């Protein structure tokens, strides 16, 4: 068996194991988060568990697969070094670049799969879960103690329940206004078809500052939120590629300044490249470490994932106009995560080439 085939087979097996581990942990955490909200708990009891897991797992897999590749490739290369294969490889006069064909092929395959999941699977999963939660919100029932985060009729109700009553309430209306209250109650409005929210001792903020100070204090405020039928509209990250591209083009033609759709579009283009950058980073990470093992590699993958996610979050904020952001073009912000990972990968490869060929551990 050639070195390329050996690497590809071992990396594929290790990547599959790491992917199951990462996605499994993320799905379990997300299910626990969903179950902590009363309306979401209703969903857990009524929605098919397979559909619920799929809605959560598919979007997570798009993010987890490149990290699983990094963990798998790091593990295989670390074991290759510990077995003496790396020393023999260098003593034979071979360059580290000899590893590139197998690594880049593995990265390309994972990049295509994760890119497809980001383009098609993530919109399906995100929207499926949100639509199901909205449906659970329309099927309002008695509140149990705990946090509340429910969307109904284009409105959003947040807070927590203590002893059957709402406390620390935030209501966001469909038109953009919002109100806070120290306590309140919620339940079906008389006659049905609406959710009645009663707020006590609070303040309501209006979106139009021309109306006085834009704020109104109240002792008691009764709101009837219509529970419309139908499914909620899709956000930028819930649109399939054709619809998202059409939205980006329409915003550009109309001169709209909202960078969200354009950023979502360019992120999907950058996803496959991140897999290639991560697999390049895995080579020095695996061959420079002192010990191998999947545990160490998963920790390295989590560290890379935090850096990757942190760079994405920074890019999300940087595209906003000043003073909330710096007005970074979405096409640039989408590639920031890949750039953040490419820098240590380049340094690692330089150090890898500088290791003396006869060096031992």
Q: How far apart are CA 138 and CA 147, in angstroms?
A: 17
Q: Is the pLDDT of residue 39 over 90?
A: no
- For 233-279, what is each residue's pLDDT tens digit? 788 889 999 999 999 999 889 888 788 899 999 998 888 888 999 99
The pLDDT score that the predictor gives to residue 139 is 54
The edge-to-edge listing of strands for the beta sheet with 215-226 is: 146-152, 155-162, 165-172, 178-188, 194-205, 215-226
- For 135-190, what is each residue's pLDDT tens digit? 655 555 556 677 877 766 667 788 888 877 888 888 887 666 788 898 888 777 77
Q: pLDDT-based confidence at 211, cuts 50/70/90?
A: very low
**Which residues fall within 8 angstroms of residue 325, CB to CB, at 6 or more apart?**
317, 318, 319
Q: How far apart are CA 256 and CA 259, in angstroms?
A: 8
The pLDDT score that the predictor gives to residue 35 is 67
The pLDDT score that the predictor gives to residue 320 is 86
The pLDDT score that the predictor gives to residue 104 is 93
Q: Any idea of the CA torsion for 34, 227, 55, 241, to the nearest 10 degrees?
A: -130
The pLDDT score that the predictor gives to residue 52 is 82
Q: How far apart are CA 315 and CA 187, in angstroms?
A: 40
280 vs 31, residue with greater confidence: 280
Instruction: Determine which of 65-79, 253-267, 290-304 has the lowest per-residue pLDDT on average.
Output: 290-304
Secondary-structure breakdown of the chain: helix, strand, coil percentages, each rounded to the nearest 5: 60, 15, 25
Instruction: Determine which of 33-47, 85-99, 340-354 has the lowest per-residue pLDDT on average.
Output: 33-47
> Which stretch, 218-227, 314-323, 327-336, has highest mean pLDDT?
327-336
pTM of the model: 0.73
The pLDDT score that the predictor gives to residue 9 is 94
57 vs 323, residue with greater confidence: 57
């Amino acid at each position: 068996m050639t070195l390329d085939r050996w690497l590809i087979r071992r990396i594929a097996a290790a990547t599959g194991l790491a992917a199951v581990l990462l996605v499994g942990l993320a799905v379990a955490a997300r299910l626990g988060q969903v179950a902590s909200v009363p309306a979401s708990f209703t969903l857990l009891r009524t929605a098919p568990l397979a559909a619920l897991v799929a809605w959560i797992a598919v979007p997570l897999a798009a993010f987890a697969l490149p990290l699983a590749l990094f963990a798998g490739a790091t593990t295989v290369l670390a074991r290759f070094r510990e077995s003496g294969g790396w020393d023999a490889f260098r003593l034979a006069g071979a360059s580290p670049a000899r590893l590139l064909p197998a690594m880049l092929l593995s990265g390309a395959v994972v990049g295509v799969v994760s890119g497809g999941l980001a383009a098609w699977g993530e919109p399906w999963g995100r929207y499926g879960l949100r639509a199901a939660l909205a449906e659970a919100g329309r099927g309002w029932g008695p509140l149990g103690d705990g946090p509340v985060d429910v969307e109904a009729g284009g409105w959003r109700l947040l807070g927590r329940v203590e002893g059957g009553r709402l406390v620390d309430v935030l209501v966001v209306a469909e038109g953009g206004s919002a109100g806070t209250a120290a306590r309140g109650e919620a339940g079906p409005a008389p006659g049905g078809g609406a959710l009645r929210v009663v707020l006590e001792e609070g303040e309501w903020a209006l979106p139009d500052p021309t109306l006085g100070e834009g704020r109104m204090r109240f002792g008691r405020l009764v709101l009837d939120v219509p529970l419309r039928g139908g499914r909620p509209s899709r956000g930028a990250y819930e649109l399939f590629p054709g619809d998202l591209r059409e939205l980006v083009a329409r915003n550009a033609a109309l001169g709209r300044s909202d960078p969200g759709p354009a950023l979502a579009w360019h992120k999907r283009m950058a996803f496959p490249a991140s897999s290639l950058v991560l697999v390049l980073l895995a080579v020095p990470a695996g061959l420079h470490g002192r010990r191998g093992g999947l545990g160490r590699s998963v920790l390295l993958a989590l560290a890379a994932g935090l850096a990757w996610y942190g760079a994405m979050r920074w890019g999300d904020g940087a595209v906003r106009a000043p003073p909330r952001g710096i007005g970074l073009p979405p096409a640039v912000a989408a590639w920031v995560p890949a750039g953040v990972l490419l820098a240590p990968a380049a340094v690692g490869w330089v150090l890898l080439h500088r290791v003396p060929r006869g060096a031992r551990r």
